[in-house]
Amino acid sequence: MNKLLLILLLSGLTACTSMRLAGTDALAAAQLAHVNSDYRIRAGAPVSVYLRSVDGQALHFWQHAADVEAGAHRLLVDCSVPASQKLSRHELNVTLEAGVHYNLRADANPQQGCTRITLEESN
């Protein structure tokens, strides 16, 4: 039982990290845009939106967000609707502003799955 508790604790600690794109380590948070998606473990959620990659750089399974330089970026996003067992992949070409936090959102229904993914500011 203690081993299971340790695994769950470690999973919880690593589940909330962000990826920083190469070349952004020296930049302050105010100089970066933050793109946030859902956590990978979402038991019972009707819709889940996962950020898969930014500009071709894949996120690790424990990462749910990315900090990137302002400017144009290509986001690869997966959307899951468990009620319909539908999983879809979407590509978004976006222009991001420094210092802004963004959330990925889905337009979805059980019959069609995800019909559209949008990026909303969340400051």
For residue 30, what pLDDT is reported? 83
- Identify any residues that bridge with 2 across adjacent strands, giving them in sequence order: none
Please list, in sequence order, all residues whose beta carbon lies within 8 angstroms of the beta carbon of residue 101, skipping any fewer than 6 positions away: 33, 34, 36, 121, 122, 123
Q: Give the pLDDT of residue 2.
A: 54
75 or 45: which leads in pLDDT: 75
pLDDT in tens, 63-112: 999 999 999 999 999 999 988 889 999 999 999 999 999 999 999 988 88
Report how far apart, in Å, the C-alpha atoms of 108 and of each of 28, 51, 69, 93, 103 are. Answer: 35, 16, 30, 20, 16
CB 115 within 8 A of CB 107: yes
Residue 105, helix vs strand vs coil: strand
Residue 8 pLDDT > 90: no
Confidence of residue 123 (pLDDT cuts 50, 70, 90): low
- Looking at residue 11, its pLDDT comes to 47
Domain boundaries along the sequence of the chain: 16-121
